[in-house]
Structure 1
Amino acid sequence: MRQQNKKPQRFVLWIGGGLALVTFLFLFARHQGQKNTKIESSEPVELVPTEKIVAAQAPGAPTEVAPSNTEPPAEVLKQNTLPSSLSAADLAKFKDFQEIARSKNDNDPRLDTEFRSLSPDLKKALQDFYQQMAPEKRNEKGLVVFLIARDLKTADDALFLRSVYAEEPCLSMESCKILTASDPHLSFADQVSLNYPQMAGLYQLEKKLAANPEFLKDPNLREKIRGILDQAVKYGVPSVQKRAEEIQNRFRL
């Protein structure tokens, strides 16, 4: 009987010992976890703003992050500002011009219906618009020169056209001041685009003189036109120089 009673007692002792061991291991592991947590969190964690992360990932990115509420470039603001000195009719034409310039459509019929005879105020607004545009806006600038040269009447018109040929040549469509390294020898199409303002002026000037030879009978205007061509001959692009010389020889200027 005593041997039979010992078996249940041993079983109970074995169960109790197992439970005690499990409890000890659980408490030990919990203690170690709390200890590690305290060690890892002993130093404060510094959160890096998202903007700095993005800037660090982009090679060559500026160290300062531009604010989200940046204003548009000054050039955009100027171009979107309508001249306050224009009459209602001229203001409507100026808006049409801006629309045509944005579309880059040189064949827009409004160029022949609305812009054949320009008022002095509208010409001044177009010239100001020309000066406000970036040098790389070759098509838009060329459109202004085209209109002024086609309606050349006054000394102010001639002075503006002469200033166009006093500009530095545009070296590339990306930047007028930097020649694209991948394409040092520009194609004919590229040369036409880069020199569009200068070539458009010469084209219209020659066309005007051919259609109205009496235009040169005015000594003042004749002298102004000669000044335009003299400046064009000095322009740093051979094709422009050659075209100006041809006009000089044709009309003995």
Structure 2
Amino acid sequence: MVTKFEKHLSKSDLSKNTVTSYVWTVNYFLIHYKEINSKNLLSYKGYLLENFKPQTVNLRLQGMNKFLEFIKQDKLKMKFVKVQQKNFLENVISNEDYKFLKTRLKNDGYEEWYFVVWFMTATGARVSELLQIKAEHIVAGHLDIYTKGGKIRRLYIPKILKNEAVIWLRLREISSGYIFLNRFGKRITTRGIAQQLKHFADKYGLKREVVYPHSFRHRFAKNFLDRFNDIALLADLMGHESIETTRIYLRRTATEQRAIVDKVVNW
């Protein structure tokens, strides 16, 4: 049944990571609860609420609800939990720490990771999109990504990054194909990137909670709005379906809020 469900999901517009997450969720439930009924589903939801953040809870519930739809048990579908919107951005690497990390990576000879960090922060790429970049895209200066619903989003590679990356690829004698590879010549995994970034956070004394792939996409958005205040354009560049999603970047990080309060409030 789960195998059929996975094949069913694979035919949809869902990303590979989302399909994997949904299948994992269903497998976990079936192993621990055996029978699919209202009581067990509520018990599972309670377990999720006690152990995970609301966003993760909703992701797991969505996976189970998709499965319930698939087995024609729609009446058992669970309601999502409310996600409280914060009035600040959380766990975003500062521009100073980003520049520090990038400089240290280059100076210490970790050129590939220097470019991993630079590409994410200069293009706003999701880590899954980063792994799609080929040498041919560097030469062209952009990568076209097909999103849900058949839309195309263009990921632009800034001129300053393109020029340096071209030289880097030439020295590595790479003229075609994917550019971010592991020691076996295969593409780095998203998990591999996340783990290596944590390693560099520890190595260079940075906060682990701000050194993760999506943090650099957040930094791209913050830097873009600081220098070119066009939220509609930013929404297009980031591939947001709704401009409301992009509005979060108009808010300051918790660290920025603290600095302003400490500077301004003297009464």
Normalization by structure 1: what TM-score?
A: 0.21
Decide which structure has the larger Cα Rg and report it: 1
Q: Which has the higher contact order (CA 8 A, sep 6+)?
A: 2
Normalization by structure 2: what TM-score?
A: 0.20
